[in-house]
A and B are shown apart, each in its own frame.
Chain A
Amino acid sequence: MYDLNSVTKTYVRRGHTVTALDDTNLEIPDNDFVAIIGPSGSGKTTLLSVLGGMLAPTSGNVFIDGESLYDLSIEERTALRSTKIGFVFQSFNLIPWLTACENVQIPLMLSGQSAERQRSRALEMLDRVGLADRTDHHPSELSQGQQQRVALARTLANDPQVILADEPTGNLDSETREQVMTYLNEFHRDGRTIIMVTHDAGTAAFAKRTIRLVSGVAKSIVSPEAA
């Protein structure tokens, strides 16, 4: 799936060079479930951005299914994101003025699906996450857990091969967190690759393996108990 070769990403902040990823090598096979943990500023979000095709590394190569991600044009990477990659965000990032159904329709619309196909697929996905009775609700009319489930349905809409999750349970209570992780596990069992950034050891425990990032380097790899 992913193959990162000597990936380095540096930023210049107020005249100082900050290294977010430092000569990182990483291989993530198909249908892996990886938790990326590490302290704040260790480069977790940078890694996720690089994997999502949204942040070109300063040096090194990122391959996805054997294709060099950053040798693609911006438009090609956008199209690839639309079809191959799904995102789950900590604060859900639902569009507040669209209904649950319309939010799920967004990736389908962006990939050029017809309006009928968009709606039927969105309803199917919302049904899958147990929100068939909330399709016409706006995000503000839903609980935090329901909003994250709408976001999960949106992630699944285009049937992506890989799901990049940024602290997917960070804003949820323990009961809802369990529910969301159960869905992610389910998606993993469907054959998808899940790459999840988290601070929470309990959430990381759901993954098949954990990568610890320290100062931009994948220094230690531990093998937690798979959920």
Chain B
Amino acid sequence: MKLQSMIWKELWQRPTPMLTSLLAVTLGVTALVAIQNITVFSERKIAGDMESLGANVLVLPPSVTLQDYYSADMHGHTMPEEFVTRLALARMPGVENLAPKLCVEASVDTIPVTLTGILPRSEFQEKAAWQGLSMLTNAVGSDRGCCATKADVGVDDDPNSLATTRTIQELGERDLILGRDVAAQLGSGVGDTLTLFDEEFEVITVLPETGTIDDGRIFAHLHSVQDLSSAGPVVNVIEIMACCEDAAGGLITNLSAELPDTRIITIAQVVETQVAVNGLMSRLSWGFFSILLLVGGASIASVMYANVTERRKEIGTLMALGASRNFVTRMFLGKATLLGLAGGLGGFVVGSIVAAVLGPQLLGVEVQPMPMLLGVGMATATVVAVAASFLPARRAAGLDPCLVFNDA
């Protein structure tokens, strides 16, 4: 028999109060693991999305409040399409490409869909040619000082380029591009004909999965969407693919000067907002963690004190038989360590499961367990449990062994 086996056997003799304490510790670690897990994977997803997005500046109507970058074109507010032409002709340094969008609600065979009007690059080239600027290699802006981005290196005639570069070279007035999810929902593929606003459109491609809101959208020529929805020559948003930080830095001032009645948002701001939200979640998770661990620690301390009182005679007997104060202290702290480790492990497992279930449901984020949180959870829970048990253990070690005698 060893100290460890004594601790283990004793633990199972009085399981209820210990399990209650364990639950509090486990909940603390669960909260931390679940929220941290979701937060970290959410940040990674945002980073990945931004990486694949290409666009890094948004021009929005002034009244729009930006809550979510991806739904920034679903606010119902509009601005004149003429702004696009002004930007194209301004040829600002750093502007690599423009992607105006107009989103309207539509239906295909009674299935509601979001129809997004986009303007192909060929339209800008026509405008540039009409303005006598065709000698320039870049049809939209000046490439002075620009570095290569996905927006300018991947554009070709392939309509699938929309998925990665936010732009497309050619798009006919009765052509449609389907997002992956909406294609699956409608059961449509390349070459199929779909009816929108009583007009027939031909599906020219189905985009590869992007993991963004675009997967659920149908894309058509901007002017077709404007005409059929009777929206007029307006857009909801102009996405700007600015090529590098230096250009984008000065670009905001130029854009604001060119389009004073708009709201200019950079991806940096969007990311900062999202990162701030994630930071808040992260701090909240530490807050929950701390509060629940304090509750757990108080519970453990209370249970340990009760345990010492309950086991006075038992402890006295052990001391009479030769148990040192150090042995008695280790007996209680060993028990606390076991509770902390179990609480940390349990919290990690439950928290990881909660994150894996809630991550996709709440935020659309696939979450994997993070081994680092196992270490953090177990270490913190153990420290709290041991700290909470320290005074009860000292009290136990200080018991008078004479209490084992009959008269004591």
Residues of A in contact with B (beta carbons under 8 Å apart): 40, 44-45, 48-49, 52, 54-55, 74-75, 78-79, 81-83, 87, 89-91, 93, 95-98, 102, 105-107, 109-111, 115, 118, 154, 158, 166-167, 170
* Most chain A beta carbons < 10 A, residue from B317, B318, B320: B320
* Most chain A beta carbons < 10 A, residue from B1, B2, B13, B408: B1
Q: Could you list 11 A-B pairs, sorted by A, with CB under 8 Å?
A: A52-B320, A54-B320, A81-B321, A89-B404, A93-B317, A93-B320, A97-B13, A102-B1, A107-B322, A109-B2, A115-B2
Residues of A within 8 A of B10 (CB): 97
Which residue on chain B has the smallest CB distance to residue A87?
B320
Which residue on chain B has the smallest CB distance to residue A170?
B406
Residues of B within 8 A of A102 (CB): 1, 9
Q: Flag if A78 contacts B323 (CB, 8 Å).
A: yes
Q: Flag if A98 contacts B9 (CB, 8 Å).
A: yes
Interface string of B1-22 (1 = CB under 8 A from A): 1110010011011000000000
Q: Flag if A45 contacts B408 (CB, 8 Å).
A: yes
Name the contact of B324 in the complex, choosing from A75, A83, A109, A158 (C-beta under 8 A). Answer: A75
Q: Flag if A166 contacts B406 (CB, 8 Å).
A: yes
Name the contact of B322 in the complex, choosing from A40, A91, A93, A111 (C-beta under 8 A). Answer: A111
Q: Which residues from 265 to 314 on chain B have a C-beta closer than 8 Å to any C-beta of chain A?
A: 313-314
Q: Flag if A48 contacts B324 (CB, 8 Å).
A: no
Place the interface of chain B in its size category. Answer: 20 to 34
Name the contact of A87 in the complex, choosing from B1, B12, B321, B327 (C-beta under 8 A). Answer: B321
Q: Flag if B405 contacts A49 (CB, 8 Å).
A: yes
Q: Flag if B322 contacts A79 (CB, 8 Å).
A: yes
Residues of A within 8 A of B325 (CB): 74, 78
Give bound CA distance, A40 to B317, whole Å. 22
Q: Does B319 contact A (CB under 8 A)?
A: yes
Residues of B in contact with A (beta carbons under 8 Å apart): 1-3, 6, 9-10, 12-13, 313-314, 316-325, 327, 400-402, 404-408
Residues of B within 8 A of A44 (CB): 407
Name the contact of B406 in the complex, choosing from A81, A91, A110, A111 (C-beta under 8 A). Answer: A91
A55-B402, A89-B405, A166-B405 in contact; A107/B1 too (CB < 8 A)? no
Name the contact of A97 in the complex, choosing from B3, B9, B405, B406 (C-beta under 8 A). Answer: B9
Residues of A within 8 A of B324 (CB): 75, 78-79
Residues of B within 8 A of A78 (CB): 319, 322-325
Q: Flag if A89 contacts B406 (CB, 8 Å).
A: yes
Give bound CA distance, A52 to B320, whole Å. 8
6 other contacts beyond A49-B405, A81-B321, A115-B1, with CB at 8 A cut-off?
A: A54-B400, A93-B316, A97-B13, A102-B1, A105-B1, A110-B323
Which residue on chain B has the smallest CB distance to residue A111?
B322
A110-B321, A111-B322 in contact; A118/B406 too (CB < 8 A)? no
Residues of A within 8 A of B404 (CB): 87, 89, 93, 166
Q: Flag if A40 contacts B319 (CB, 8 Å).
A: no
